[in-house]
Amino acid sequence: MQINIAKKSQAKEQDVTDEGIYRERRSILKKMGFVGASALLAGPAQADLFDIFSNKEETKFKVEPLKFKADKQTGTIKLTPEEKATHHNNFYEFGTKKSDPAENAQNFKVNPWQLRVEGAVDKPLTLDYDDLLKSLPLEERITRLRCVEAWSMVIPWIGFPLAALLNKAGVGSKGKFVKFTTLKSPTQMPGQANRFKGGGIDYPYVEGLRIDEAMHPLTMLAVGMYGKTLPPQNGAPIRLVVPWKYGFKWIKSIVKIELTERQPINSWNQLLPNEYGFYANVNPEVDHPRWSQASERLITSGGLLSRNRIPTLPFNGYGEEVAGMYKGLDLRKNF
């Protein structure tokens, strides 16, 4: 889904930024009297001091085990290895390369967190970090995730139906759509601080569903995967799972869920309306303007080049459950 905006200036911009950070770090270290003396640094206190400049591997986000009702399919379905699911990500707030989110999101703060449920609801709610994990019974669901870029994974999510939360807030008759918003935090998310690093999206990332889609039992809010809380690259502390829709609908790190009367905008539709629609139902018969959607590369334990091309199914294989919601809708127009 990477788009080619001004490739040259992108390279320049990043060089400038990186150089800037480099200089800044050096000058701080210099003030501390560390430049040229790094060989003397050994003890834990010094290591801590260096931590503020370190990137990536040094500090790793800590996931916690979760209690949940296991999916019945456990053991009968081949899952995408956890290592792949957590290191091949789209989360443009942390960079546009597949490896960027795992590298850049490890210091992301998820506690404290606030998720607000508002708009046309009977009683607006605010959930804090503990509420997300504890206020509703957690269940595991193994689902397929099919990205619009024609790759897919099979992932065991842990969470609760979105309907359970919406019913808590009370869904009146005025709410026709649900709008979701990701956290905006440019200091933590380099893609939000720099237009080139963030792929040109106007942040915060937003998404939307029709109310019947939102209330559908297959639609869930996930707080975990592979038995534990979500790592930040996969959308901690809470993200959307809509199995029959392309991955870009599966908005991550949500801070607001709002019932609206009008169809909300969604980030990828806003950026490239000819390529990404509002509905984004997985559909092998409607090609992306730049590639076919007839098949997909299933990411398994094999290498990236291993032959695991499989046909793409209408509604990602969930047609029996969801096709009825789109009776009478032209799915070519409403892609």
Ligand X SMILES: Nc1nc2c(c(=O)[nH]1)N[C@H]1C(S)=C(S)[C@@H](COP(=O)(O)O)O[C@H]1N2
Binding site for ligand X (CB under 6 A): 1, 89-93, 145, 147, 182, 205, 234-235, 247-248, 250-253
Q: What is the largest CA-CA distance in the chain?
A: 72
* Residue with Cβ nearer ligand X (68 or 268): 268
Selected range binding Mo ion among 86-94, 283-291, 301-309, 326-334, rule: CB under 5 A: 86-94
Residue 128 C-beta: closest distance to Mo ion, Å: 29
* Residue with Cβ nearer ligand X (120 or 214): 214
Q: Which two tokens stand for residue 255?
A: 């801070």
* Residue with Cβ nearer ligand X (120 or 280): 280
For the chain, how far is it from start to end, CA to CA, in angstroms? 16
* Residue with Cβ nearer ligand X (222 or 259): 222
Q: Does residue 233 belong to the site contacting Mo ion (CB under 5 A)? A: no
Residue 193 C-beta: closest distance to Mo ion, Å: 22
Q: 203 touches which of Mo ion, ligand X, none (CB within 5 to 8 A by kind)?
A: none
Q: CA-CA distance, 222 to 230, in Å (whole number)? A: 8
Residue 52 C-beta: closest distance to ligand X, Å: 26
Residue 311 C-beta: closest distance to Mo ion, Å: 19
Q: 269 touches which of ligand X, Mo ion, none (CB within 5 to 8 A by kind)?
A: none
| CA distances for 20 relative to 13, 17, 103, 107, angstroms | 11, 5, 20, 21
Contacts by 157-160, CB closer than 8 A, 24 or more apart: 157/220, 157/222, 157/224, 157/225, 157/241, 158/66, 158/68, 158/222, 158/223, 158/224, 158/225, 158/227, 159/220, 159/221, 159/222, 159/223, 159/224, 159/238, 159/241, 160/136, 160/220, 160/221, 160/223
Q: 250 touches which of Mo ion, ligand X, none (CB within 5 to 8 A by kind)?
A: ligand X
Residue 299 C-beta: closest distance to Mo ion, Å: 13
Residue 234 C-beta: closest distance to ligand X, Å: 4
Q: CA-CA distance, 322 to 34, in Å (whole number)? A: 61
Helical (H) or strand (E) element with 25: helix 7-31
Q: Do 201 and 272 form a contact (C-beta atoms < 8 A)?
A: no
CA-based Rg of the chain, rounded to a whole angstrom? 21
Q: CA-CA distance, 104 to 84, in Å (whole number)? A: 16
* Residue with Cβ nearer ligand X (143 or 253): 253
* Residue with Cβ nearer ligand X (179 or 252): 252
Selected range binding Mo ion among 64-72, 241-249, 266-274, 312-320, rule: CB under 5 A: 241-249
Residue 234 C-beta: closest distance to Mo ion, Å: 13
Q: Which residues bind Mo ion (CB under 5 A)?
A: 90, 147, 247-248
